[in-house]
A and B are shown apart, each in its own frame.
Chain A
Amino acid sequence: MKRVSVLAVLALLLVSSCGTNLGMVDTKSLMTTTTAVATPQQAQKLLAEAEAARVAVRDSIARSFVTAQQNLTSAPQDQSAIKLMNAAITARTAFNKVDPQFTAAWQVAADAVDTWTRAPSDQNAAVTFNAMYASVRKSLTDLSAAQTGGVQ
């Protein structure tokens, strides 16, 4: 029991500390890309990396959630385990709120890239992509924030 409690405390510290956590996915480089994307190839790369970042955040939260459940099962009365479970539930809720928005924006942006790829000189396609990618980036920021409970 004591060992479980110690583990729960350690895990809680990991979840509740700042963005330099070991288990926290860093999406900063993608989120700070604010200059307009100039080519369809760059657009493809950015979108692909955004999706990969989403998956990494998703799996990080999932692992934390399962760990919290296991700790709570082992020590149902342990306050640290309860706190960890609550933090995991908050992160899960925040992620599930934002993920559909990310997915929808990503899909529209991907369609825009397809159009742009077929006509690389089409400035309208470039503008459309950049507009949609701003939404993708915003949702990615919110997904990243979900790791610590979401945007307040």
Chain B
Amino acid sequence: MTTSSSIFALLKIAGQFVPYVNIAETLIEEGYTFGHQMQKFAAEQDITLAEWSDARTQNKITLDDEIAKLGGTVPSTIVAPVEPSQPPDPYTGEYSALEFARNAGKLAGKPGDRIYSIPNGKFKLVYGGAGGNVPTTWTLVETIGG
């Protein structure tokens, strides 16, 4: 793996790793490019690729995470639980647009759970559970698109 591709492999995790994104912002204010930031941070922290890979299991830092971190109170976005008529694909978590439209706004969720639109016309549910395991329950908090 080349140096630049190694760096980019680390960059891909940027949004999921709190210390990095905070440090990145500071460095941007200091006039560093993002690539420079990554090099600088990796050098300062002596962090390994494996350690960054572990960070993949952490949830992406959301706006509400940041509000909570700053001491604010995040409004609940949980809606009433309803069983879906069909579960999403148990492996990919993808949920057809039809099923999404049928259930939009009616599924149980908890802060931190997200639904992602993906280019093939489906929606991908991302669970709050750690480690990417197939969840025993699935949730939806925010409705987008549909």
Contacts and interface: CB of A to CB of B under 8 A. Distances in A.
B143 to A, nearest CB: 9
A52 interface: yes
Nearest to B5: A117
Among the interface residues A47, A48, A51, A95, which one has the most CB atoms of the partner chain B within 10 A? A48
Contact of A96 (B5, B38, B61, B142): B142
Contact of A103 (B33, B34, B37, B116): B116
Looking at A44, A47, A97, A106, which has the most chain B CB atoms within 10 Å of its CB?
A44
Nearest to A91: B63
B118 A108 contact: yes
A44 B118 CA distance: 21
Interface in A24-78: 41, 44-45, 47-49, 51-52, 54-56, 58-59, 61-63, 65-66, 69
A16 B123 CA distance: 34
Nearest to B4: A41
B14 interface: yes
Contacts of B60: 103
A97 B67 contact: no
A148 B136 CA distance: 39
Interface stretch (B21-29, B47-55, B79-87, B95-103): B21-29
Contacts of A95: 63
B70 interface: yes
Nearest to B115: A100
Given A51-B15, A66-B70, A117-B5, A58 B63 contact: yes
Contact of B34 (A45, A66, A69, A104): A45
B70 A63 contact: yes
A118 B1 CA distance: 9
A103 B15 contact: yes
Interface residues of B, number: 42
A128 to B, nearest CB: 11
B31 interface: no
B35 interface: yes
Given A56-B25, A62-B69, 5 more contacts: A51-B34, A96-B142, A100-B114, A108-B118, A108-B119
Contact of A97 (B11, B37, B142): B142
Given A45-B34, A56-B28, A110-B12, A96 B64 contact: yes
A103 B142 CA distance: 14
A36 B70 CA distance: 39
30 contacts: A41-B4, A44-B4, A44-B8, A51-B14, A51-B34, A52-B34, A54-B15, A58-B61, A58-B62, A58-B63, A62-B63, A62-B67, A62-B69, A66-B67, A66-B71, A69-B72, A92-B64, A95-B63, A96-B63, A96-B64, A96-B142, A97-B142, A100-B142, A101-B117, A103-B116, A106-B15, A113-B8, A114-B8, A114-B9, A118-B5
